[in-house]
Amino acid sequence: MRSVTAILQKIFTTRFYIQNTGFFLVLFYLMFGVVDSGSLLNYHKGLMMGFLEGTSFLLIVLGLWALYCLKCVGFVMKVMQTQGYEFLYPAMGSMNKNSRLREWFLIHNAIYLPVWIYGGIAMAVGIRHHYYGPSIVILVFNVIMGLWPLALYDRKLFRPDTFFFTGYLQRWINRRFTKPPVLYFLYELFTQFPRRILTAKLVSALMLWLTFFLMQQGDYFDLRGLQLGVMLSVLLHLQLLTHHRAFDDTWLSFMENLPVSTFRHYIRMAAIYLIMWIPEMVMITVNAHTKTTALSLLMVFCLALSLLMFFRSLLYFPKINNELHVRYVLLTCFVVLFMVLGHYEWLAILVLQVLSAIVFFSKYRQYEPYIEP
């Protein structure tokens, strides 16, 4: 049984941490790299005391842990559907139920281990400071998160056609709704690549939260600091922009031959990124509406949308690959940063919109899918 456990841990646990190395590096930086080493313990103790004392903060933390649990479940289900791992069905299906559930328990909780460690430390801090109620809530929540996926994994063995949440969501949407073209790409992300967009949105939210947190710690609000955080948030969406080009190349090439004007295609692109950035807009509005004017918030949102549209338009150049794209993106951010620092935000927005329109209208009808040499 030990050899079976070791093999399964290599298939699931080791592969999970290797594939998500970037995610954990970013998480480690946000949790430990942004704080001075001398105050690291006090920072995390204060963070834990914050969600132990505040119900709203605790619910946010539990929500983030639930999202990580869904990430773990989605990974295990995806591995079981990956070509080359069909042997898992007869191999694990031949085990008795108790042994099989034990293996699922070890696999899932080895992946869920970072939450167990941080949650365990938070419970110890809570018990020491007599916050017994929140500590019990954290314990019960993590026990549930550590146990409920086992039934889903076991069901998958005997019903290989079982889908995770996104599979049921996709079937439900397909039966009831006819999607407009502006939602094609977003539908693709949420149904086929949910972890990709959820990870991008989660890290983007953490970046904006860190921006507001640092300004709050310094007891000030600087619109230029917020715009810098917004630019970093936009950069975290670059992978989604590249995926958008691949999606258009693969599935939407037929739309170029439809009797639809180039202007409508341009508006569709703008609407896609406007919808995509709504969560960040809501977060910024909630945190900054009392500290600045509505016009300033509109300027921040227009800057983000203009950057997204310009970065996407750059991908219509025929020979631009990911490396060249990143170079142009960083150069653009460098120029826009100095314009923001000089209070020329509206000029930067105007220039980005004009350049986006010029590139789009000149290249859209001539564009051919990029082929890596």
Do 87 and 150 lie in one domain? The reply is yes
Q: What confidence tier does 183 reach under pLDDT thresholds 50, 70, 90?
A: confident
Residue 1 has pLDDT above 90, yes or no: no
Q: What confidence tier does 326 reach under pLDDT thresholds 50, 70, 90?
A: confident
Residues 6+ apart with CB under 8 A from 310: 332, 352, 353, 355, 356, 359
Q: What is the mean pLDDT of the chain?
A: 85
Do 214 and 283 lie in one domain? The reply is yes
Do 327 and 227 lie in one domain? The reply is yes
Q: Is 216 left (phi over 0), alpha (psi -120 to 50) or beta?
A: alpha
Q: What confidence tier does 371 reach under pLDDT thresholds 50, 70, 90?
A: low
Residue 64 has pLDDT above 70, yes or no: yes
* Amino acid residing at 280: E
Determine the pLDDT at residue 273: 94
Determine the pLDDT at residue 9: 87
Say which residue, 111 or 84, is predicted with more confidence: 111
Do 93 and 129 lie in one domain? The reply is yes
**Where is mean pLDDT largest: 10-24, 70-84, 100-114?**
100-114
Q: Tell me if 373 is assigned to some domain.
A: no
Determine the pLDDT at residue 361: 93
Q: Tell me if 74 is assigned to some domain.
A: yes
The answer to whether the beta carbons of residues 113 and 12 sit under 8 Å apart is no
Domain boundary among 160, 192, 214: 160
Q: In this structure, which long-range contacts are made by residues 347-351, counting pairs with CB atoms below 8 Å and at least 24 apart in sequence? A: 348/303, 348/306, 349/299, 349/302, 349/303, 349/306
Q: How confident is the model over 350-372, as a mean pLDDT?
A: 86
Do 153 and 282 lie in one domain? The reply is no
Domain boundary among 102, 130, 160: 160
Do 314 and 358 lie in one domain? The reply is yes
Q: Tell me if 254 is assigned to some domain.
A: yes
Q: How confident is the model over 29-52, as a mean pLDDT?
A: 78
Residue 239 has pLDDT above 80, yes or no: yes
Determine the pLDDT at residue 189: 83
Q: What confidence tier does 21 reach under pLDDT thresholds 50, 70, 90?
A: confident
Q: How many Cβ atoms are within 10 Å of 112's Cβ, its own excluded?
A: 21
Say which residue, 187 or 279, is predicted with more confidence: 279
Residue-number span of the structural domain to which 267 is assigned? 181-363
Q: Tell me if 172 is assigned to some domain.
A: no
Q: Is 130 left (phi over 0), alpha (psi -120 to 50) or beta?
A: left
The answer to whether the beta carbons of residues 61 and 131 sit under 8 Å apart is no
Query: How many domains does the chain fold into?
Result: 2
Q: What confidence tier does 121 reach under pLDDT thresholds 50, 70, 90?
A: very high
Residue 17 has pLDDT above 70, yes or no: yes
Do 45 and 152 lie in one domain? The reply is yes
Q: How confident is the model over 188-195, as a mean pLDDT?
A: 77
Domain boundary among 160, 189, 220: 160
Do 41 and 100 lie in one domain? The reply is yes
Question: What share of the chain has pLDDT > 70, as a percent?
Answer: 92
Determine the pLDDT at residue 207: 86
Do 214 and 282 lie in one domain? The reply is yes
Q: How confident is the model over 327-356, as a mean pLDDT?
A: 92
Determine the pLDDT at residue 40: 77
Task: Report pLDDT digits (tens) over 65-78.
Answer: 998 998 888 888 88
Kindly tell me the burial class for residue 87, based on how many C-beta atoms sit within 10 Å of its own C-beta (0-12, 13-18, 19 or more): exposed
Residue 187 has pLDDT above 80, yes or no: yes
Determine the pLDDT at residue 37: 67
Determine the pLDDT at residue 144: 93
Do 97 and 32 lie in one domain? The reply is yes
Determine the pLDDT at residue 169: 60
d(CA 224, CA 212): 12
Q: Tell me if 243 is assigned to some domain.
A: yes
Q: Tell me if 111 is assigned to some domain.
A: yes
Q: Which two tokens stand for residue 8?
A: 């399964």
Determine the pLDDT at residue 65: 92
Do 90 and 219 lie in one domain? The reply is no
Q: Tell me if 132 is assigned to some domain.
A: yes
